[in-house]
Copies of this chain bind each other. A is one copy, B any other.
Amino acid sequence: MHTTDVNEGVEDAKEWLAKAFRRVRLTVISKIEQNESIYRELDASRAKVTLKEKDANPKSQAGADSRKTFTDHMVVVDWTADRGWADPEIVPHAAFTLMPTASVLHYSTVCYEGMKLYRGFDGKLRLYRPDENAARLATSAERISLPAPPPAEFKALVKKLCSIDGPKWLPQSRQGEYLYIRPCIIGTDPSMGFDIPKEARFFIVISGWETVAETAPSGLRLLTSRADEIRAWPGGSGNFKVGPNYGPTLRNLGQTKGRGYDMTLWLFGPDSRITEALCYLEKYLELVTSPVGDGLILPGITRQSVLTLASERLREGAATAYNLEPLEVVERPLTMSDLAAAHDEGRLLAGLAVGTTYFVTPVGEIDWNGKQILLDSAENKHLLAIKGWLSDIMYGKVESEWAEIVDE
């Protein structure tokens, strides 16, 4: 039988312990490394802020009043399929780099949102229904094969950027005015093979905006789209806010503006269905608009707000409180023939173009293949009431869960 020296045993035990320790350490390091390579969700609280150097140009202190003026900062967050979202960065608004082979530059992998930041009459900054933008961006991203930020992180980043740039670019002197916020997701994968992007970028910029009232005092002039050009199709992407819906419509927009109109009114099909968030008001009294369910119309947040407010406050029994005749909200496929017939029979009271950009804007004229439909929308009392209610929420004249305050 082999006997061992006590000291020898101690030495063995020491060596064994040292080895074991090394093994455990390597395991821990490996676990940490594995952990680092695990997909990370977007975390707005990790945003790193790099402020712009003090602005030498005092002009911009007056705020932004053109859509070509951008605020000082932007949010940029990069994503890869393997590692998820990087830490968000808030940096000075400037050019960024992209590989010339980036997916978005070839295959139009892009979706975006349009939002506004309002300077309330109570001096506070507000966002309007930002949860709706977050939710819609997520559905658009899924449609165009891009990752979407989780709604809570989306909202936190929008608010963070607004709280940094709001005070300077939408100062107290601009109560009742707004800035335009553009969150956007693009495919940055540079591998150029036609495939779902494995790299993407989410960014947010803010610009000024001309008020529409100045550009169209007596109502927008719309020209219907040509029969041989179609914006959206069932099974396409017209009901999502993705870039590919926009570029191909510019040619028509150019012709529309060239003929002196403000906007193209996009129609679809042999019955000339209206595929935009246009509402019209009938003498009868109905507020009529196309439903979004057919895949042709963007589910607009302003559109939904108008329908909700009109349903709640202008229904039988409620409207009298506002000294208005009650009306019924009707969602049905809306065709140009319906509209023209209502016009010819003297039933057409007003038209409303509805959206974040144009808010609730009276339509003054629709030109449909040479047939002029003139509308006296601008002074319509129902339209003015709806505009007022929305505006009161946005600019904090009333309390509403649709408005969220941005801390400064």
User: Which of B70, B233, B247 contacts A107, CB < 8 Å?
Assistant: B247
Indicate if the CB atoms of B243 and A247 lie closer than 8 Å.
yes
CB closest chain-B residue, reference A237: B248
Q: How far is the CA of A253 from the CA of B195 in the complex (A)?
A: 8
Indicate if the CB atoms of A99 and B104 lie closer than 8 Å.
no
The minimal Cβ–Cβ distance linking A106 to chain B, given in whole angstroms, is: 6
At the interface, yes or no: A244 with Cβ under 8 Å from chain B?
yes
A213-244 vs B, CB cutoff 8 Å, 1 = contact: the mask equals 00000000000000111100111110000111
Most buried by B among A100, A187, A196, A229: A100
At the interface, yes or no: A110 with Cβ under 8 Å from chain B?
yes
> A105-B184, A106-B243 provided; 18 other pairs, C-beta below 8 A?
A68-B191, A96-B98, A97-B98, A100-B205, A103-B247, A104-B105, A107-B246, A108-B108, A108-B243, A108-B244, A109-B250, A144-B247, A145-B250, A145-B254, A192-B205, A192-B207, A196-B253, A243-B244
Chain A interface residue count, CB cutoff 8 Å, equals 60
Indicate if the CB atoms of B186 and A105 lie closer than 8 Å.
yes
The minimal Cβ–Cβ distance linking A245 to chain B, given in whole angstroms, is: 8
At the interface, yes or no: A45 with Cβ under 8 Å from chain B?
no
CB closest chain-B residue, reference A248: B237
* Residues of chain B within 8 A of A143, CB atoms compared: 248, 251
Number of copies of this chain in the oligomer? 2
Indicate if the CB atoms of A110 and B105 lie closer than 8 Å.
yes
Given A74-B100, A100-B74, A105-B184, CB of A247 within 8 Å of CB of B205 = no
* Residues of chain B within 8 A of A74, CB atoms compared: 100
Q: How far is the CA of A98 from the CA of B188 in the complex (A)?
A: 12
At the interface, yes or no: A93 with Cβ under 8 Å from chain B?
yes
Indicate if the CB atoms of A93 and B100 lie closer than 8 Å.
yes
User: Which of B68, B101, B107, B250 contacts A205, CB < 8 Å?
Assistant: B101
* Residues of chain B within 8 A of A94, CB atoms compared: 99
Given A96-B97, A108-B243, A108-B247, CB of A236 within 8 Å of CB of B235 = no
The minimal Cβ–Cβ distance linking A356 to chain B, given in whole angstroms, is: 12
Interface residues of A (CB under 8 A from B): 67-68, 70, 74, 76, 93-101, 103-110, 112, 142-145, 182, 184, 186-187, 191-196, 203, 205, 207, 227-230, 233-237, 242-248, 250-251, 253-254
Indicate if the CB atoms of B250 and A196 lie closer than 8 Å.
yes
CB closest chain-B residue, reference A227: B235
What are some 15 contacts across the A-B interface (CB < 8 A)? A93-B100, A100-B203, A108-B248, A109-B250, A142-B251, A143-B251, A144-B251, A145-B250, A194-B253, A195-B250, A196-B251, A229-B235, A230-B234, A236-B236, A237-B248
The minimal Cβ–Cβ distance linking A391 to chain B, given in whole angstroms, is: 23
The minimal Cβ–Cβ distance linking A195 to chain B, given in whole angstroms, is: 7
* Residues of chain B within 8 A of A142, CB atoms compared: 251
Indicate if the CB atoms of B110 and A108 lie closer than 8 Å.
yes
Indicate if the CB atoms of A107 and B250 lie closer than 8 Å.
yes
The minimal Cβ–Cβ distance linking A248 to chain B, given in whole angstroms, is: 4
Given A101-B70, A207-B192, CB of A236 within 8 Å of CB of B254 = no
* Residues of chain B within 8 A of A100, CB atoms compared: 74, 76, 93, 95-96, 184, 203, 205
Q: How far is the CA of A184 from the CA of B102 in the complex (A)?
A: 12
Q: How far is the CA of A67 from the CA of B106 in the complex (A)?
A: 15
* Residues of chain B within 8 A of A184, CB atoms compared: 100, 105-106
* Residues of chain B within 8 A of A236, CB atoms compared: 230, 233, 236, 248
Given A110-B105, A207-B101, CB of A145 within 8 Å of CB of B251 = yes
* Residues of chain B within 8 A of A144, CB atoms compared: 247-248, 250-251
CB closest chain-B residue, reference A234: B230
